[in-house]
Structure 1
Amino acid sequence: MFKLQYDFVTNLTHEFKTPVSVIKIAGNNIKSAASLSAREQQLYGKILDEEADKLNGLMNKLLAFTQIENKAIILNQDEINIDDFIESTIDVHKLKHPDFDFTYETSGFTTFITDPVLLGSLFDNLAENAYKYSSPNHKKLHISARLIKDKVVLRFKDAGIGIPSSEINNIFKKFYRVQNRYNQNGSVGLGLAFCKELVNFMNGEISVKSVVDKGTEFKIVLPYNN
């Protein structure tokens, strides 16, 4: 337990320090520059905005995780159009990562009732993982959404580095980090644990299958409410 706490604090500190350092450098460059070109202004603005988003996202994830664990939030019930929802997710991540190759398909339903904020968090976490844990030429994600026996079945299939079979049973544990070349700079180990908590809170199930150097597929099964 002590080692888990130590690793968590160390990695959390690192995740906060990195964007803070980038923001400070960009701020100093702006402050010390005699003048800024339109291109430099746009670049620094983009950097500051992105790094602030990273800090905000990390804080929101920690807060939401605690709220869900303590049942301190209410599950909202809103109708969403699944095609519009997926396309919106794709637009956001393509804007952040122009080299991200997305495809998707839906069948059996058009709308269903769910919590769009929590579902959006699931989509964002799994999309970010697919991008992060893929080599430069294989940043792909295929999302499918099907209605099967009164259940919404979502699949997120990437072409990334995969997860060793020895690690599969641990990836949903809090603070657990798969040891690979993409995690050398520190990771809090909350992403997939957060996803599992979200799915449980939404009365669903999440599972994974993976082949090293071939890719990973996450499957989420949620109640179909219409």
Structure 2
Amino acid sequence: MFQILIVNETSEALAQKEKEDFNKKILEEKKNKIELLAKINHEVRTPLSSILMYFEMLEGDYLKSFDEVKKYSKSVKTASQSLLNTINNFIDYAKIETGNLEVENDLFNLSDEVESVVFLLSNLASNKNDKLILEEGEISQNIVFADGTKYRQILINLVANSIKFTQNGTVKICVENISKGGEDYEIVTSVEDNGPGIPDEKLENIFDPFVTLKNGAQANYSSGLGLAICTEFVRMMHGKINVESKVGKGTKFTFTIPYKYDYKSAFNK
């Protein structure tokens, strides 16, 4: 009888602990969803409100010169790009979570793709008084056979992230396309800034979803999805991504995308 009582009490204690753990997990998931919705609300509403405000300025009698019109038109473009990038990140993350994202390799011009990203984010950089620099290293072959859409989104996220955390500084993009022999090639891309840097204790989970860093008032409202999406895209393309950072010195992200390219079959497909 004594042994039976002990077993029953132990079973009840385990059941109670499992129930408490389950409830704790549910509450944590609910909290994360609420925080995510708050971040989505802020990241979508902020640029959208700016766009509406700038359009009101353009339509009204506030502007006295062409330079002012040009200035606010530029601001509309910057806010629109910020909004589009946010929406793309949420859509991509949803596809990743549901397993509905695939690698789609095709031919694309590496230099053109990188230059288009620089042009796209130049207004965002100038609004922070940042200098956006593009350096092309060894380009053994400019026509690449890989997933250009994912490569572009990785680069956009990394550059936008560096601009966000850099004020009156420099964001440098360096791209190399290296032949490894035969059909083997490797795209090596780095994005380096001289911003505040990332503390060592934050580097370990910097690529995890919803992880955000402090950056003044906007810190807690970043979705924390950009770097997580970069990591997943790089993984899907069988590449590698890493980060180096020193507080007060800046941060450098580097990602490598390997690919095999049979030019004859690629051009005749």
- Structure 1 residues 104 and 212: CA distance shift in structure 2, 3 A: same
Q: Which residue of 1 aligns with 2:222?
A: 187
SS at match of 1:102: strand
Q: Which residue of 2 aligns with 1:123?
A: 155
Amino acid aligned to 1:79: L
- Structure 1 residues 185 and 205: CA distance shift in structure 2, 3 A: same
What CA distance in whole angstroms lies between the structure 2 residues aligned with 1:22 and 1:62?
A: 20
**Superposition pairs for residues 54-93 of structure 1, below 5 Å?**
54-93=82-121
Q: Which residue of 1 aligns with 2:259?
A: 224
- Contact persistence 1:155–1:219 (CA under 8 A): yes
What CA distance in whole angstroms lies between the structure 1 residues aligned with 2:258 and 2:206?
A: 24
Q: Which has the higher helix share?
A: 2
Q: Report the TM-score when normalising by structure 2.
A: 0.72
- Contact persistence 1:141–1:159 (CA under 8 A): no
Structure 2 stretches lacking a partner, 5+ long:
1-27, 262-269
Amino acid aligned to 2:223: V
- Bigger Rg, which one: 2
**Superposition pairs for residues 16-165 of structure 1, below 5 Å?**
16-29=44-57, 33=61, 38-98=66-126, 99-107=130-138, 109-110=140-141, 111-136=143-168, 138-147=169-178, 149=180, 150=184, 151-165=186-200
What CA distance in whole angstroms lies between the structure 1 residues aligned with 2:76 and 2:167?
A: 26
What CA distance in whole angstroms lies between the structure 1 residues aligned with 2:248 and 2:63?
A: 48
Shift of 1:196: 1.0
- Structure 1 residues 86 and 59: CA distance shift in structure 2, 3 A: closer
What CA distance in whole angstroms lies between the structure 1 residues aligned with 2:199 and 2:179?
A: 29
Counterpart of 2:231 (choices 196, 206, 210) is 196
What CA distance in whole angstroms lies between the structure 2 residues aligned with 1:34 and 1:189?
A: 37
- Structure 1 residues 169 and 93: CA distance shift in structure 2, 3 A: same
- Structure 1 residues 87 and 57: CA distance shift in structure 2, 3 A: closer
Which shows bigger deviation, 156-165 or 80-89? 80-89
Deviations 1:115-171 (A, max 9, x none): 1111111111111112121231x2221413242744333222222211111000111
Amino acid aligned to 1:221: T
What CA distance in whole angstroms lies between the structure 2 residues aligned with 1:102 and 1:187?
A: 25
- Structure 1 residues 94 and 51: CA distance shift in structure 2, 3 A: closer
Which shows bigger deviation, 36-45 or 165-174? 36-45
- Residue identity over aligned pairs, in percent, reads 28
- Structure 1 residues 182 and 109: CA distance shift in structure 2, 3 A: farther
What CA distance in whole angstroms lies between the structure 1 residues aligned with 2:203 and 2:222?
A: 17
Shift of 1:204: 1.8
Q: Report the TM-score when normalising by structure 1.
A: 0.84
- Contact persistence 1:83–1:106 (CA under 8 A): no
Shift of 1:192: 0.6
What CA distance in whole angstroms lies between the structure 1 residues aligned with 2:199 and 2:147?
A: 32
Pairwise CA RMSD of aligned residues? 2.7
SS at match of 1:170: coil
1:211 aligns with 2:260: no
Shift of 1:215: 1.5
Structure 1 stretches lacking a partner, 5+ long:
none
- Structure 1 residues 135 and 196: CA distance shift in structure 2, 3 A: same
The structure with higher relative contact order (CA 8 Å, sep 6+) is 1
- Contact persistence 1:107–1:146 (CA under 8 A): yes
Shift of 1:38: 4.4
- Contact persistence 1:210–1:216 (CA under 8 A): yes
